[in-house]
Amino acid sequence: MSKRFNRKRFFKGLAIGTLALPFGIRAFRPVQAQTTGKAIGYDKKFKWKMVTTWPPNFPVLGEGCVYFANWIREMSGGRLDIHVYGGGELVPPLEVFDTVRSGAAQIGHGASYYWAGKLPSAQFFASVPFGLNAQQLNAWLISGGGLELWEELYADYGLIPIPGGNTGVQMGGWYNREINTVNDLKGLKMRMPGVGGKVLERAGGSPVLLAGGEIYTGLERGIIDAAEWIGPYHDFKMGFQQIAKYYYTPGWHELGTELEIMINEQAFSELPNDLKAIVKTAAFRLNHWVLSEFEARNSEYLAKIKETDGVEIRRFSDEILQTLRSYADEAIEDLAQSDAFTKRTYESFQAFRHNISNWSSVSEKVYYQDIEL
């Protein structure tokens, strides 16, 4: 898929709920794999459906799903063909989890905090306020035991989760009024879902749930006073700089939101070992590509926002951030009491966060604070 589609036209029409290793075939008879499991059947082809929470070809996230399917098609020599459906094309965006679980589609892409109503602990595998940044969250998942917990959680639903991208640090949102003290949050109507919304409530604000395509109109008409979305790239394309004056940083509510690929366990078990490896390899490539794309595009579009007349980029004060963090700790502690598994996930997450914070305090933090970039 070409990346040269009209992004501006796409975003104007947005209205959704709120990411070569060809095989030389020498023979067509099955060849026994060296590892245990199914034989590699070079003559058998598989067709899968992939449902996503993103609209068709949604920049970075939807694009990434198409790339993922293309990579698998290339690496498998066409033996595994995945058709990607954007949110609403086959099923509504927030029905992805149940659709893949039922087997109506073999694979899906979204963010695990969308399923928090079913699985409270799922939020830790996406993002929680004042949690881990992208590289830290990936480290917990891949090398710190997080993925094993995630797999255990999804196993009860017949699903296999794999990291499938990360947005990186998000921005703190667009505001139609200055936020100088914690008191300025009182009565603030802000589009902010999830645990971040619960933190805002504790600060006296009112979280409002709006679909992505409704945010611009909500800000324009005063239905909401503020809104968070993702970062400079998508925010600029949505046109928020035209209707809100203050753009705040940092995005304390989502420091690095992990996206997910979920696979129907039965469908995955029917693949030969080489195709299983190809799917996992493509997923990890997607995980890296999405974060890289966000970093590149956000840096480009931050410059555009800075050039926009009337927009001021502000930093939340230390007092505000410290207060919000105390509220976040309370909200996450409450979340941890949801059930025994959530508590176990929370304990693993917290222990890893403590250790990696010690490391980052003498590495990256020192670099950013003491060296002018």
**CA 287 from centre of chain:** 10
Residue 3 clears pLDDT 50, i.e. is over it: no
Between CA 122 and CA 113 the distance in angstroms is 6
What sign results for the dihedral spanned by CA atoms 114, 118, 120, 124? negative
Q: What is the mean pLDDT of residues 257-282?
A: 98
CA distances from 1 to 5, 195, 211, 293 (A): 9, 35, 27, 16
| pLDDT tier, 371 (very low <50, low <70, confident <90, very high otherwise) | low
Lowest-pLDDT range of 15-24, 143-152, 172-181: 15-24
Between CA 79 and CA 331 the distance in angstroms is 47
Rounded to whole angstroms, the maximal C-alpha distance in the chain is 72
Domains annotated on the chain, with CATH: 7-168+256-297 (3.40.190.170), 173-255+310-339 (3.40.190.10)
Express each pLDDT in 304-350 by its tens digit: 999 999 999 999 999 999 999 999 999 999 999 999 999 999 999 99
Q: What are phi and psi of 188, to 5 degrees?
A: -70, 125
Run of H or E residues at 259: strand 258-264
Residue 26 clears pLDDT 90, i.e. is over it: no
Other beta carbons within 10 Å of 10: 16
Residue 219 clears pLDDT 70, i.e. is over it: yes
Mean pLDDT, the chain, rounded, equals 89
Between CA 125 and CA 138 the distance in angstroms is 10
Give the pLDDT confidence score for residue 21 in this predicted structure. 28
Give the pLDDT confidence score for residue 23 in this predicted structure. 29
Q: What are phi and psi of 354, to 5 degrees?
A: -60, -45
